[in-house]
Amino acid sequence: MALIDVDSVLAELTIHEKIKLLAGKDTWSTFALERLNIPALTTTDGPHGARGTSFFNGPRGMLLPCATAMGATFDQDLMSAVGKMLGRETREKGCQVLLAPTVCLQRSPLIGRGFEAFGEDPWLSGTLASAYVNGVQSEGVACAIKHYAAHDQSTNSQEDSIWVSERTLRELHLLPFQIAMKQANPWSVMTSYHSINGVHIAEDPWLINQMLRKDWGWDGLVMSDWFGTYSTAEALNAGMDLEMPGPTRWRGQLLLWSIASKKVKQETLDFAVRNFLNLINKVQPSLQPVDPSTAGDSPEKRALCRKVATDSIVLLKNEKSILPLNPTIGGKTYALIGPGALYPAVSGGGSADLVPYYVSQPLDALKELVGAGNVTTNIGCYGHLFTPLLSSSIMVPGTSEEGFYLEYFTQEPDSSGTTNPVATTTTTQAQMYFADNLPEGITEGYWVRVSTTYLAPETRMIEVGLCVLGKGRLYVDGVEKIDLFTSQPKKTIQTPMFDQASMEVTTVIDVKEGQKYEIVVILHNERLTAGVGALNAGGLRIGCCEHFDPATKLSEAVELARSVDYPIVIAGLNADWESEGLDRKSLALAPQVDQLIEAVLSVNPNAIIVTQAGCPIAIPWVESSKTLVHAWYGGQETGAAIMDVLFGKVNPSGRISVTFPKRLEDTPGFLSFGKQDKMLHYGEGVFIGYRYYEKLRNPPLFSFGYGLSYTTFVYSDLNVPKEINLTKQDTFQVSVKVQNTGSRDGAEVVQLYVLDLTSSVQRPVKELKGYRKVHLPAGSSVDVAFTLDKYALSFWSQEQEKWLAEKGTFEICIATSADPNDEVLRQPFDLVAEYLWSGL
């Protein structure tokens, strides 16, 4: 396809056509205009994979570890490889815009979608995002970097009104975007849902036209978050080009009328259309179809996902060098214990989630390493909020195909089975969120019958659970077992599908090995909770797990831990707890999980503890555990990656990307996180993450940047110029020598922090301004050089409304984490002249 001649196309377009181009056509795409050879653009979420255009029953994809895990790699080269692969995956799904990366900083560990962003530090976040964006866009796919800006609560965030100083915005929450603008130029920006200082971002001329376009000189396309446009004239006048998704709520006739009444100028309309046409030109390569023979799952993509997963894992404790385990020592016995042993957490929930090609199971990975005969497993307890998805031992009734059979109706199907469905399909997904991909002929109010044949793999009691988005009933062998049709339990916790589903109701059934059970759910998308007649995207979620007596299971697992050489516990949070649309209330894991870990440690103090969560968690048993490995949400390679690290196939090099506090009360957002009568003051100012703990001299549990290795590193030869003058030089060099003094090859994350010792304003004690991951064979050393510039020395001066690098004394600090105890070398220098600047 030839490039669009933007000027002549603009001259040809009618006003109706221009308006049409500025809003989505459907959930994921824009309109095509064949008359002028304008193609449609199609978007897909990000950030951990490319889901394509369907929440329900879409294609599978490569599922990378969550973004906090990516942040923990501190590896820009790896992020650029990730970006390239995601650009490729986006193209394979027929899309041209990846709705990623997310660069908002976690000011509270409770944010439900905190796992989607790289970490708490703006330099880490902005530089990793830049590498990611450059990778994606090298494939001719646009990134829509999000959520612009300062998105830090997930529960109903459209209503959140954030109050924050310009300095806090500039130095923290806008900075990752600014860095990405400078280093990568993302072709699109997605606005966030909330308002800042009284104005919703999608209609804020200061944040969009002034900041993005004038201050930073950026020329890309601004799109709203999904249903995050709240006005017609205001949004367009502020510079928000594309309303997503479609069909439009705010453009169409309303925009025509705004133009007719001169609330929106023709030139404003043309400016937005120009941005849209320019974006089409930029993504030209991804408008070409991909050769299907080179698409899909591949060993190279798997290897990359595994590398990101292993490189993100953080070794937090390793007393007496219990780790790495040695798989070649014969006669050792292992037990795999904990909810994560059976149900590894691969992703948080919400728009970032997708169905992976496969999931590497920890049990399989362990057996492969040490032999099946040496491994025993016992879950010990459950850690979920919702029964794990019914995803095995199920068949489409009357066939040998794995999965569920779905029949869609426009009216209630009668129980005798004589109502003809409008459409049918099959799926293997036990969570069915019908926000898209509904068949043709389905009306606003519809019914779905879902059936599956459950073939019991053993004789036991099972618990079957149902959540609905709408109302529904579950039957087993024709007998109604769950009624969420006539009434639904009061919501007391967050629920699946963006916190919109009902509470789960479960039923316990005795099943016999080899026998078949017909499970049927009938759903109507009319919501009970939103009042009679409320129709919406419907959905349902069928869960199933073994039903056991918690006390018996716990003692079995504890006995097992006592009897083996190495009990390995995998436990933590999962997508029930951390998801878009909700926020946690506490840092705690499910109480029974802490109880299990404590009990295992009490009988076998050498137990290896692996935690999984996208954001910090409480670790009350930390003192009694000799080992602690944090494995985030590891994506499709979770099992293999955990075992790679535990058995030393990979020397751990992940570093914490979000500080783990000792208590929730210690966190920067503690007093202002939550609904707060709709006025949320970011009162901690420029002190989030380690900046806060260090300023208050209140040490956290594990500081940003912290992580151990199986080898040791020694630093020396820190070279810093004595004097710097930014009015005469754009950059300056700092170097340091690192040596691997241990007996194993390993990778170290060299962290460079800057201290402003003579500042006239309150500044963080130190701030990360450079980092580098270096791979060092045992015994070898390397000189690591950093090129620093004005970004390393400046703060935002409210007085002068510019960035200011203040004359005075600074220090370069090389450290192995942000914890003051982990500083290894320091060297002062003088900035001999004041330097004021703006823009990028």
Nearer to ligand BGC, 247 or 457 (CB): 247
State the DSSP code for 314: E
- 371: CB partners within 8 A, 6+ apart: none
Is 10 exposed, middle or buried (CB count within 10 Å of its CB: 0-12, 13-18, 19+)? middle
- What is the enclosing helix (H) or strand (E) of 163? strand 161-163
Residue 499 in the binding site for ligand BGC (CB under 6 A): no
Nearer to ligand BGC, 225 or 684 (CB): 225
Q: Assign residue 717 a region (left: φ > 0; alpha: ψ between -120 and 50; beta: otherwise).
A: left
Question: Within positions 556 to 585, which residues make up the interface with ligand BGC, using CB under 6 A?
Answer: 580
Residue 146 in the binding site for ligand BGC (CB under 6 A): yes
- 539: CB partners within 8 A, 6+ apart: 431, 432, 433, 434, 435, 468, 469, 470, 497, 500, 501, 523
Strands (E), 164-322: 188-191, 195-196, 199-200, 221-223, 314-318
Q: Which candidate, 194, 190, 199, 254, places its Cα nearest to that of 222?
A: 190
| Tokens of residue 156, six digits | 């109903």
Q: Which candidate, 706, 616, 611, 590, places its Cα nearest to that of 668?
A: 616
Number of residues that bind ligand BGC (CB under 6 A): 7
Residue 118 in the binding site for ligand BGC (CB under 6 A): no
Q: Least distance to ligand BGC from the beta carbon of 25, Å?
A: 15
Residue 226 in the binding site for ligand BGC (CB under 6 A): yes
Q: How far is CA 835 from the centre of its chain?
A: 37
Nearer to ligand BGC, 567 or 581 (CB): 581
Residues in the chain: 840
Is 331 exposed, middle or buried (CB count within 10 Å of its CB: 0-12, 13-18, 19+)? exposed
Q: Is there a catalytic annotation at residue 225?
A: yes
Is 64 exposed, middle or buried (CB count within 10 Å of its CB: 0-12, 13-18, 19+)? buried
Binding-residue pattern over the window 604 to 643 for ligand BGC, x denoting contact by CB under 6 A: ----------------------------------------
- Interface pick for ligand BGC out of 13, 99, 390, 596 (rule CB under 6 A): 99
Nearer to ligand BGC, 22 or 67 (CB): 67
How many C-beta neighbours within 10 Å does residue 563 have?
A: 13
Nearer to ligand BGC, 48 or 274 (CB): 48
Question: Within positions 329 to 358, which residues make up the interface with ligand BGC, using CB under 6 A?
Answer: 351
Binding-residue pattern over the window 443 to 462 for ligand BGC, x denoting contact by CB under 6 A: --------------------
Per-residue burial over 30-50, b if 16 or more Cβ lie within 10 Å, else e, is bbebeebebbbbbbbbbbbbb
Question: Within positions 35 to 74, which residues make up the interface with ligand BGC, using CB under 6 A?
Answer: 45
Nearer to ligand BGC, 193 or 710 (CB): 193
Q: Which candidate, 613, 704, 697, places its Cα nearest to that of 655?
A: 704
- Interface pick for ligand BGC out of 89, 203, 225, 499 (rule CB under 6 A): 225
Active-site entry in 45, 152, 225, 311: 225
Nearer to ligand BGC, 52 or 543 (CB): 52
Q: Are 169 and 150 in contact (CB under 8 A)?
A: yes
Nearer to ligand BGC, 93 or 553 (CB): 93
| Tokens of residue 658, six digits | 């979000």
Residue 268 in the binding site for ligand BGC (CB under 6 A): no
d(CA 840, CA 834): 18
d(CA 398, CA 355): 25
Give the catalytic positions in this structure. 225
Residues of the shown chain interacting with ligand BGC in the complex, contacts defined by CB under 6 A: 45, 99, 146, 225-226, 351, 580
